[in-house]
Amino acid sequence: MNRHLTHLADGRELVYFDLNPRDHSAKDQRDLPPRPAPSELRHDPVLDEWVAVAGHRQTRTHLPPPEECPLCPGRPWSEIPSAYDVAVFENRFPSFSGPIGRCEVVCFTDDHDASFADLSDERAGLVMDAWVDRTRELSGLDGVEQVFCFENRGAEIGITLPHPHGQIYAYPYVTPRTQRMLTVARPGSLAAVVAEERAGERVVAANDHWTAFVPRAARYPFEVHLYPHRQAPDLPSLTPEERAAFGPLYTGVLRALDGLFGVRMPYVAAWHQAPVRWGREVAYVHMELFSIRRAPEKLKYLAGSESGMGAFVNDVRPEEAASMLRAASGKMGRQITD
Protein backbone atom coordinates (compact mmCIF):
# COMPACT_ATOMS: atom_id res chain seq x y z
CA MET A 1 0.00 0.00 0.00
CA ASN A 2 1.20 3.51 -0.86
CA ARG A 3 -0.08 6.20 1.52
CA HIS A 4 0.20 9.92 0.77
CA LEU A 5 -1.03 12.68 3.11
CA THR A 6 -1.78 16.17 1.81
CA HIS A 7 -4.20 19.02 2.52
CA LEU A 8 -7.07 20.72 0.72
CA ALA A 9 -7.34 24.48 0.18
CA ASP A 10 -9.18 25.08 3.46
CA GLY A 11 -6.78 22.96 5.53
CA ARG A 12 -8.71 19.70 5.61
CA GLU A 13 -6.68 16.50 5.41
CA LEU A 14 -6.69 14.32 2.31
CA VAL A 15 -5.08 10.88 2.33
CA TYR A 16 -4.46 8.87 -0.85
CA PHE A 17 -4.18 5.08 -0.72
CA ASP A 18 -2.82 3.45 -3.88
CA LEU A 19 -1.75 -0.05 -4.89
CA ASN A 20 1.20 1.41 -6.82
CA PRO A 21 2.96 4.79 -6.54
CA ARG A 22 1.10 7.71 -8.14
CA ASP A 23 1.92 11.36 -8.65
CA HIS A 24 -0.13 13.35 -6.13
CA SER A 25 1.72 16.64 -6.51
CA ALA A 26 -1.41 18.42 -7.85
CA LYS A 27 -2.73 20.92 -5.32
CA ASP A 28 -6.24 22.07 -4.51
CA GLN A 29 -6.49 25.50 -6.16
CA ARG A 30 -10.06 26.34 -5.10
CA ASP A 31 -10.99 29.52 -3.25
CA LEU A 32 -13.00 27.88 -0.49
CA PRO A 33 -14.94 29.61 2.29
CA PRO A 34 -13.80 29.17 5.88
CA ARG A 35 -14.58 25.83 7.48
CA PRO A 36 -17.93 25.77 9.31
CA ALA A 37 -18.24 26.37 13.02
CA PRO A 38 -18.10 23.23 15.16
CA SER A 39 -21.29 21.21 15.48
CA GLU A 40 -23.30 21.48 18.68
CA LEU A 41 -23.87 18.45 20.88
CA ARG A 42 -27.12 18.35 22.84
CA HIS A 43 -28.16 15.85 25.48
CA ASP A 44 -31.64 14.27 25.52
CA PRO A 45 -32.38 13.71 29.22
CA VAL A 46 -35.42 11.54 28.48
CA LEU A 47 -33.42 8.83 26.67
CA ASP A 48 -29.97 9.75 27.98
CA GLU A 49 -28.73 10.11 24.40
CA TRP A 50 -26.75 12.69 22.46
CA VAL A 51 -27.87 14.55 19.34
CA ALA A 52 -25.54 16.55 17.09
CA VAL A 53 -26.89 19.81 15.66
CA ALA A 54 -25.08 20.75 12.44
CA GLY A 55 -27.01 23.50 10.66
CA HIS A 56 -24.29 24.01 8.04
CA ARG A 57 -25.18 20.64 6.49
CA GLN A 58 -28.30 22.17 4.95
CA THR A 59 -26.06 23.68 2.26
CA ARG A 60 -24.16 20.49 1.36
CA THR A 61 -23.92 19.34 -2.26
CA HIS A 62 -27.05 17.42 -3.30
CA LEU A 63 -27.17 15.03 -6.27
CA PRO A 64 -25.14 17.06 -8.79
CA PRO A 65 -25.03 15.93 -12.44
CA PRO A 66 -22.17 13.50 -13.18
CA GLU A 67 -20.07 16.16 -14.88
CA GLU A 68 -20.11 18.19 -11.63
CA CYS A 69 -19.33 15.35 -9.21
CA PRO A 70 -16.91 16.60 -6.52
CA LEU A 71 -15.51 13.10 -5.95
CA CYS A 72 -14.25 12.68 -9.51
CA PRO A 73 -10.59 13.78 -9.58
CA GLY A 74 -8.86 16.65 -11.27
CA ARG A 75 -11.78 18.99 -11.95
CA PRO A 76 -11.84 22.65 -10.82
CA TRP A 77 -14.50 21.88 -8.20
CA SER A 78 -13.19 18.46 -7.17
CA GLU A 79 -12.39 17.60 -3.56
CA ILE A 80 -9.63 15.33 -4.88
CA PRO A 81 -7.02 16.97 -7.14
CA SER A 82 -5.45 13.84 -8.72
CA ALA A 83 -6.45 10.35 -9.87
CA TYR A 84 -6.53 7.75 -7.11
CA ASP A 85 -7.27 4.14 -6.14
CA VAL A 86 -8.81 5.07 -2.76
CA ALA A 87 -8.97 8.53 -1.20
CA VAL A 88 -10.08 9.70 2.24
CA PHE A 89 -10.67 13.32 3.20
CA GLU A 90 -12.30 15.34 5.95
CA ASN A 91 -15.93 16.01 5.11
CA ARG A 92 -16.56 19.61 4.06
CA PHE A 93 -20.04 19.41 5.64
CA PRO A 94 -19.42 17.28 8.75
CA SER A 95 -21.99 16.07 11.25
CA PHE A 96 -19.27 16.14 13.92
CA SER A 97 -16.38 18.58 13.87
CA GLY A 98 -14.07 20.68 15.98
CA PRO A 99 -13.76 19.45 19.55
CA ILE A 100 -16.69 17.02 19.22
CA GLY A 101 -15.48 14.42 16.78
CA ARG A 102 -14.68 14.23 13.08
CA CYS A 103 -16.25 13.02 9.82
CA GLU A 104 -14.40 11.70 6.79
CA VAL A 105 -15.40 10.62 3.27
CA VAL A 106 -13.93 7.40 1.82
CA CYS A 107 -13.90 7.25 -1.99
CA PHE A 108 -13.65 3.60 -3.04
CA THR A 109 -12.57 4.35 -6.62
CA ASP A 110 -12.22 7.30 -8.98
CA ASP A 111 -14.59 5.54 -11.44
CA HIS A 112 -17.85 7.46 -11.07
CA ASP A 113 -20.02 4.69 -12.54
CA ALA A 114 -18.58 1.80 -10.53
CA SER A 115 -19.69 0.37 -7.19
CA PHE A 116 -18.02 -1.51 -4.36
CA ALA A 117 -19.27 -4.74 -5.93
CA ASP A 118 -17.16 -3.96 -9.02
CA LEU A 119 -13.87 -3.70 -7.12
CA SER A 120 -11.16 -6.27 -7.69
CA ASP A 121 -9.98 -8.26 -4.69
CA GLU A 122 -6.87 -6.05 -4.51
CA ARG A 123 -8.91 -2.84 -4.59
CA ALA A 124 -11.33 -4.14 -1.95
CA GLY A 125 -8.32 -5.03 0.19
CA LEU A 126 -7.03 -1.48 -0.24
CA VAL A 127 -10.34 -0.10 1.06
CA MET A 128 -9.96 -2.39 4.07
CA ASP A 129 -6.44 -1.01 4.58
CA ALA A 130 -7.87 2.51 4.50
CA TRP A 131 -10.56 1.60 7.06
CA VAL A 132 -7.88 0.14 9.33
CA ASP A 133 -5.63 3.19 8.92
CA ARG A 134 -8.41 5.66 9.64
CA THR A 135 -9.80 3.67 12.58
CA ARG A 136 -6.36 3.66 14.15
CA GLU A 137 -5.73 7.35 13.48
CA LEU A 138 -9.15 8.62 14.54
CA SER A 139 -9.18 6.48 17.69
CA GLY A 140 -6.12 8.42 18.83
CA LEU A 141 -7.77 11.85 18.59
CA ASP A 142 -8.68 13.63 21.80
CA GLY A 143 -12.34 13.18 22.72
CA VAL A 144 -13.12 10.39 20.24
CA GLU A 145 -14.96 7.46 21.83
CA GLN A 146 -16.06 5.38 18.83
CA VAL A 147 -15.15 5.06 15.13
CA PHE A 148 -17.85 4.00 12.67
CA CYS A 149 -17.09 3.10 9.03
CA PHE A 150 -20.13 2.78 6.77
CA GLU A 151 -21.57 3.12 3.28
CA ASN A 152 -24.99 4.35 2.17
CA ARG A 153 -25.88 3.37 -1.40
CA GLY A 154 -28.89 4.29 -3.48
CA ALA A 155 -31.31 7.17 -3.84
CA GLU A 156 -33.82 5.20 -1.77
CA ILE A 157 -31.40 5.39 1.17
CA GLY A 158 -31.05 9.15 0.78
CA ILE A 159 -27.57 9.57 -0.68
CA THR A 160 -26.49 13.04 -1.78
CA LEU A 161 -23.63 11.88 -4.07
CA PRO A 162 -23.90 8.77 -6.29
CA HIS A 163 -20.13 8.37 -6.75
CA PRO A 164 -19.08 5.14 -4.94
CA HIS A 165 -18.04 6.23 -1.48
CA GLY A 166 -18.56 5.66 2.20
CA GLN A 167 -18.03 7.66 5.35
CA ILE A 168 -16.34 7.44 8.72
CA TYR A 169 -17.75 9.06 11.85
CA ALA A 170 -15.52 9.57 14.88
CA TYR A 171 -18.09 10.04 17.62
CA PRO A 172 -17.44 11.95 20.86
CA TYR A 173 -19.59 9.37 22.66
CA VAL A 174 -20.51 5.67 22.42
CA THR A 175 -23.55 5.29 20.18
CA PRO A 176 -26.81 3.91 21.65
CA ARG A 177 -26.81 0.71 19.58
CA THR A 178 -23.22 -0.16 20.41
CA GLN A 179 -23.78 0.65 24.05
CA ARG A 180 -26.77 -1.69 24.21
CA MET A 181 -25.03 -4.45 22.25
CA LEU A 182 -22.01 -4.46 24.55
CA THR A 183 -24.10 -4.11 27.71
CA VAL A 184 -26.07 -7.22 26.75
CA ALA A 185 -22.96 -9.18 25.71
CA ARG A 186 -21.02 -11.41 28.06
CA PRO A 187 -17.57 -12.97 27.51
CA GLY A 188 -18.05 -15.54 24.77
CA SER A 189 -21.71 -14.77 24.10
CA LEU A 190 -21.23 -13.17 20.68
CA ALA A 191 -18.87 -15.96 19.62
CA ALA A 192 -21.56 -18.47 20.57
CA VAL A 193 -24.11 -16.66 18.39
CA VAL A 194 -21.71 -16.70 15.44
CA ALA A 195 -20.94 -20.40 15.93
CA GLU A 196 -24.65 -21.23 15.93
CA GLU A 197 -25.30 -19.19 12.79
CA ARG A 198 -22.33 -20.74 10.96
CA ALA A 199 -23.86 -24.19 11.51
CA GLY A 200 -27.36 -23.15 10.43
CA GLU A 201 -29.47 -22.80 7.30
CA ARG A 202 -29.14 -19.04 6.96
CA VAL A 203 -25.50 -19.02 5.81
CA VAL A 204 -25.15 -17.10 2.55
CA ALA A 205 -21.41 -17.35 1.95
CA ALA A 206 -18.19 -18.38 3.68
CA ASN A 207 -14.45 -18.72 3.24
CA ASP A 208 -11.58 -19.72 5.51
CA HIS A 209 -11.80 -16.57 7.64
CA TRP A 210 -15.33 -15.13 7.31
CA THR A 211 -18.96 -16.23 7.24
CA ALA A 212 -21.88 -14.19 5.89
CA PHE A 213 -25.34 -15.10 7.17
CA VAL A 214 -28.84 -13.72 7.53
CA PRO A 215 -29.41 -13.40 11.30
CA ARG A 216 -32.27 -15.25 12.89
CA ALA A 217 -33.98 -12.03 13.99
CA ALA A 218 -33.20 -9.91 10.90
CA ARG A 219 -34.92 -6.54 11.02
CA TYR A 220 -34.76 -5.77 7.31
CA PRO A 221 -36.06 -7.75 4.31
CA PHE A 222 -32.53 -8.55 3.14
CA GLU A 223 -29.96 -8.30 5.90
CA VAL A 224 -26.58 -10.05 5.97
CA HIS A 225 -24.02 -10.03 8.78
CA LEU A 226 -20.37 -10.78 8.00
CA TYR A 227 -18.24 -12.03 10.90
CA PRO A 228 -14.61 -13.14 11.06
CA HIS A 229 -14.25 -16.64 12.52
CA ARG A 230 -11.85 -15.32 15.16
CA GLN A 231 -13.26 -12.83 17.64
CA ALA A 232 -11.45 -9.49 17.39
CA PRO A 233 -12.60 -6.13 18.83
CA ASP A 234 -11.96 -3.87 15.83
CA LEU A 235 -10.59 -3.66 12.30
CA PRO A 236 -6.98 -2.92 13.31
CA SER A 237 -7.03 -6.13 15.37
CA LEU A 238 -7.65 -8.32 12.31
CA THR A 239 -4.69 -10.24 10.90
CA PRO A 240 -3.44 -9.49 7.36
CA GLU A 241 -4.97 -12.78 6.22
CA GLU A 242 -8.35 -11.89 7.72
CA ARG A 243 -8.31 -8.45 6.13
CA ALA A 244 -7.45 -9.87 2.71
CA ALA A 245 -10.17 -12.54 2.93
CA PHE A 246 -12.97 -10.05 3.61
CA GLY A 247 -13.08 -8.35 0.19
CA PRO A 248 -13.71 -11.39 -2.04
CA LEU A 249 -16.53 -12.59 0.21
CA TYR A 250 -18.11 -9.16 0.61
CA THR A 251 -18.12 -8.23 -3.07
CA GLY A 252 -19.70 -11.60 -3.82
CA VAL A 253 -22.48 -10.90 -1.34
CA LEU A 254 -23.02 -7.46 -2.88
CA ARG A 255 -23.29 -8.99 -6.36
CA ALA A 256 -25.81 -11.51 -5.05
CA LEU A 257 -27.80 -8.68 -3.50
CA ASP A 258 -27.82 -6.81 -6.82
CA GLY A 259 -28.81 -10.02 -8.58
CA LEU A 260 -31.97 -10.59 -6.54
CA PHE A 261 -34.18 -8.32 -8.63
CA GLY A 262 -31.84 -7.33 -11.45
CA VAL A 263 -31.29 -3.78 -10.14
CA ARG A 264 -28.68 -2.15 -7.93
CA MET A 265 -30.01 -2.62 -4.45
CA PRO A 266 -30.08 0.29 -2.02
CA TYR A 267 -28.24 -0.64 1.12
CA VAL A 268 -26.44 0.42 4.27
CA ALA A 269 -23.18 -1.34 5.11
CA ALA A 270 -22.21 -0.71 8.73
CA TRP A 271 -19.05 -1.79 10.54
CA HIS A 272 -19.54 -2.55 14.22
CA GLN A 273 -16.32 -2.34 16.17
CA ALA A 274 -15.36 -1.77 19.77
CA PRO A 275 -15.37 1.73 21.25
CA VAL A 276 -12.00 3.24 22.00
CA ARG A 277 -12.10 2.85 25.78
CA TRP A 278 -15.03 0.60 26.73
CA GLY A 279 -16.41 -2.87 26.06
CA ARG A 280 -13.41 -4.13 24.14
CA GLU A 281 -13.27 -7.40 26.07
CA VAL A 282 -16.67 -8.51 24.73
CA ALA A 283 -16.84 -6.69 21.37
CA TYR A 284 -16.75 -8.69 18.12
CA VAL A 285 -16.01 -6.69 14.97
CA HIS A 286 -18.45 -7.39 12.13
CA MET A 287 -20.31 -5.79 9.25
CA GLU A 288 -24.08 -5.50 9.06
CA LEU A 289 -25.35 -5.08 5.50
CA PHE A 290 -29.05 -4.43 4.92
CA SER A 291 -31.42 -3.23 2.21
CA ILE A 292 -34.84 -1.65 2.50
CA ARG A 293 -36.00 -3.20 -0.81
CA ARG A 294 -38.36 -6.10 -0.11
CA ALA A 295 -39.58 -6.78 -3.67
CA PRO A 296 -38.74 -5.52 -7.19
CA GLU A 297 -40.97 -2.46 -6.82
CA LYS A 298 -41.53 -2.33 -3.07
CA LEU A 299 -39.56 -0.72 -0.27
CA LYS A 300 -39.76 -1.25 3.46
CA TYR A 301 -40.51 2.12 5.00
CA LEU A 302 -39.70 2.63 8.65
CA ALA A 303 -43.14 3.81 9.69
CA GLY A 304 -44.95 3.96 13.02
CA SER A 305 -43.72 0.83 14.79
CA GLU A 306 -40.11 1.03 13.63
CA SER A 307 -39.59 4.80 13.72
CA GLY A 308 -41.83 5.60 16.66
CA MET A 309 -41.14 2.65 18.93
CA GLY A 310 -38.03 0.97 17.52
CA ALA A 311 -40.06 -2.24 17.25
CA PHE A 312 -39.30 -3.91 13.91
CA VAL A 313 -41.58 -6.10 11.82
CA ASN A 314 -39.90 -7.99 8.96
CA ASP A 315 -41.96 -8.94 5.88
CA VAL A 316 -39.45 -11.54 4.64
CA ARG A 317 -38.55 -14.69 6.60
CA PRO A 318 -34.77 -14.70 7.18
CA GLU A 319 -34.53 -18.31 5.96
CA GLU A 320 -36.21 -17.33 2.69
CA ALA A 321 -33.94 -14.29 2.30
CA ALA A 322 -30.82 -16.47 2.74
CA SER A 323 -32.12 -18.97 0.20
CA MET A 324 -32.86 -16.21 -2.32
CA LEU A 325 -29.37 -14.75 -1.92
CA ARG A 326 -27.72 -18.15 -2.42
CA ALA A 327 -29.83 -18.69 -5.55
CA ALA A 328 -28.94 -15.24 -6.88
CA SER A 329 -25.27 -16.06 -6.43
CA GLY A 330 -25.68 -19.28 -8.39
CA LYS A 331 -27.51 -17.60 -11.26
CA MET A 332 -24.68 -15.12 -11.65
CA GLY A 333 -22.33 -17.98 -12.38
CA ARG A 334 -20.03 -17.39 -9.44
CA GLN A 335 -20.53 -19.27 -6.19
CA ILE A 336 -19.56 -17.19 -3.17
CA THR A 337 -19.67 -20.09 -0.72
CA ASP A 338 -16.59 -22.29 -0.63
Question: How is the chain split into domains, by residue range?
Answer: 1-173, 185-338
Q: HSE of 296 in the Cβ direction (CA atoms, 13 Å)?
A: 3
Is 56 annotated as a binding-site member?
no
239, 225 in Cβ contact below 8 A?
no
CA distance 264 to 287: 19
Q: Which residue numbers are catalytic?
A: 165
**Largest pairwise CA distance in the chain:** 57
> What's residue 329's pLDDT?
85
**Homologous superfamily assigned to 185-338:** HIT-like (3.30.428.10)
- pTM (global) more than 0.75: yes
Check residue 308 and give its pLDDT. 96
Report the C-alpha gap between 209 and 245 in whole angstroms. 6
- The answer on whether 72 is annotated among ligand-binding residues is yes
List the CATH code of the domain at 1-173.
3.30.428.10
pLDDT in tens, the chain (338 residues): 999 999 999 999 999 999 999 999 999 999 999 999 999 999 999 999 999 999 999 988 889 999 999 999 999 999 999 999 999 999 999 999 888 999 999 999 999 999 999 999 999 999 999 999 999 999 999 999 999 999 999 999 999 999 999 999 999 999 999 999 999 999 999 999 999 999 999 999 999 999 999 999 999 999 999 999 999 999 999 999 999 999 999 999 999 999 999 999 999 999 999 999 999 999 999 999 999 999 999 999 999 999 999 999 999 999 999 999 999 987 665 444 44
**Is 69 annotated for ligand binding?**
yes
User: 1-173 and 185-338: same fold?
Assistant: yes
**306 and 221 in contact (C-beta within 8 Å)?**
no
8 Å CB contact between 61 and 160: yes
181 torsion bin: left (phi>0), alpha (psi -120 to 50), beta (else):
alpha
pLDDT recorded at residue 332: 60
Please state whether beta strands 86-90 and 40-44 pair in parallel, antiparallel, or not at all (unpaired): unpaired
Q: Is 163 annotated as ligand-binding?
A: yes
Model pLDDT, residue 230: 98
CA distances from 211 to 132, 228, 249, 329, 338 (A): 20, 7, 8, 15, 10
- Percent of residues in the chain assigned helix, strand, coil, to nearest 5: 25, 25, 50
Contact 174, 146 (CB under 8 A): yes
Amino acid at 214: V
Give CA–CA dist 9/298, Å, rounded.
Answer: 44
Number of neighbouring beta carbons within 10 Å of residue 30: 14
